[in-house]
Amino acid sequence: MASPLRLTVPLPNDPRRIRRRRADAAWHAIRAEFAAADQAMSRFREGSDLTRLNRAAGSGRWVDVPRRLERALVAADRARRVTGGVFDPRVLADLDRLGYRGVAVDRAEAGRDGPHDPMTGAADARTDPGAPVLRRVHPRMVAIDRPVDLGGIGKGLALRWAADRIARYGVGRWLLEAGGDLVARGPGPDDGPWVVGIEDPFGGEAPIAAIAIHDGAVATSSVRINSWLVDGRPVHHLLDPRTGEPADGGLRAVTVLASDPAWAEVWSKTLLIGGRATVADTARTRGLAAWWVDDAGDLGMTPAARAVTAWVASET
């Protein structure tokens, strides 16, 4: 899923090396899980299950999808409903338009350029925030009205599913990282919390703050990653589904600590899209541990975040 993987397992002296064997088995299971998730949800793979589904988007055809993709679509649709449409995966056509392309999707079938969507009765799903991401005649037979991108939530789901597999191998304390997002369980190497740095979204080498966690998942959405120019205009990959344009609400990055990595992904993106004017109120209302950096470089955080902040760079 275009993310480097790293599993950290504290291993005290064990002459029988039982824990090391368990960690090695868990690592092989993690890699297998991410390979399967990539096959199911990647928009960059010609033969992925998502590519096949996206090519039928808007056509009214029902597609038999495997279990992983069906679960991902259900999760994405629930996230859309919970966030009031601020999170919505149906942004693939706009990502393509702005130059962040995956494999080619037939636009004649994708439905963006057609006058009518046979599934929703709407010319453009963007005008109907209540339209579901998917429709089903029975489990795994689904159809979608517009092509979807499952990048962020897909990585969060892969971390969730990989964490479930680690638990089966009896590895009691570990940290799994995928491209900057992570899940931690149990105490860290020094029998205290895991201490996780928050990256400087302006490119500084040192973290701007650090989080102390025992069990939880951390995800960051940042405009620093995957940014480029279109006709001289700076753009990035975090699109507001209500406008089809890159979010421009005055935030550079948002980090969220949650119990589940997929929801940490959803809320970090939702808060960033919502922007500086609403980030504090939305995060506090939802009870989120959230950190954010605005365009001026100022760091903000919720009370729940402050309770687990180990240190802040400006305060050291």
What string of pLDDT tens digits covers the 316 residues of the chain? 678 999 999 887 665 677 888 999 999 999 999 999 999 999 999 999 999 999 999 998 999 999 999 999 999 999 999 999 999 999 999 999 999 988 888 644 444 443 333 333 333 445 466 789 999 888 789 999 999 999 999 999 999 999 999 989 989 899 999 998 999 999 998 899 999 999 999 999 999 999 999 899 999 999 988 888 898 899 999 999 999 999 999 999 999 999 999 999 999 999 999 999 999 999 999 999 999 999 999 999 999 999 999 999 975 4
Query: Do 201 and 275 sit in the same domain of this protein?
Result: yes
Longest distance between any two alpha carbons in the chain, whole Å: 69
Confirm whether 265 is domain-assigned.
Answer: yes
Alpha carbon distance 79, 77 (integer Å): 5
Q: 135 in a domain, yes or no?
A: yes
CATH assignment of the domain containing 257:
3.10.520.10
Residues 209 and 295 in one domain: yes
Asked whether residue 121 is domain-assigned, the answer is yes
Whole-angstrom distance, CA of residue 233 vs CA of residue 240: 17
Query: Domain limits at 254?
Result: 193-315
* pTM of this structure: 0.90
Residues 237 and 240: their CA atoms lie apart, in Å, by 10
Q: Are residues 53 and 133 in the same domain?
A: yes
Answer whether 87's CB lies under 8 Å from 79's CB. Answer: yes
Kindly report the CATH number assigned to the domain that includes residue 129. Answer: 1.10.3980
Same domain for 229 and 144, yes or no, is no
Domain count, the chain: 2
Task: Pull the structure tokens for residue 64.
Answer: 């038999």
**Beta strand pairing call for 209-213 and 141-144:** unpaired
State how far the Cα of 214 lies from the Cα of 182, in Å rounded to an integer: 12
Contact criterion met (CB below 8 Å) for 175 and 265: no
Query: Counting beta carbons within 10 angstroms of the beta carbon of residue 150, is it exposed (0 to 12), middle (13 to 18) or buried (19 or more)?
Result: buried
The residue type of 166 is I
Last residue of a domain, one of 114, 149, 184: 149
- How deeply is 254 buried, as exposed, middle or buried, from its count of CB atoms within 10 A (0-12, 13-18, 19+)? buried
Return the bridge partners of 112, or none. none
Q: What number of CA atoms fall less than 13 Å from residue 133's CA on the CB side?
A: 29
Distance between CA 309 and CA 297 in Å, rounded? 18
DSSP 255: E
Q: pLDDT tens digits for 237-295?
A: 999 999 999 999 999 999 999 999 999 999 999 999 999 999 999 999 999 999 999 99
Q: What are phi and psi of 284, to 5 degrees?
A: -70, -40
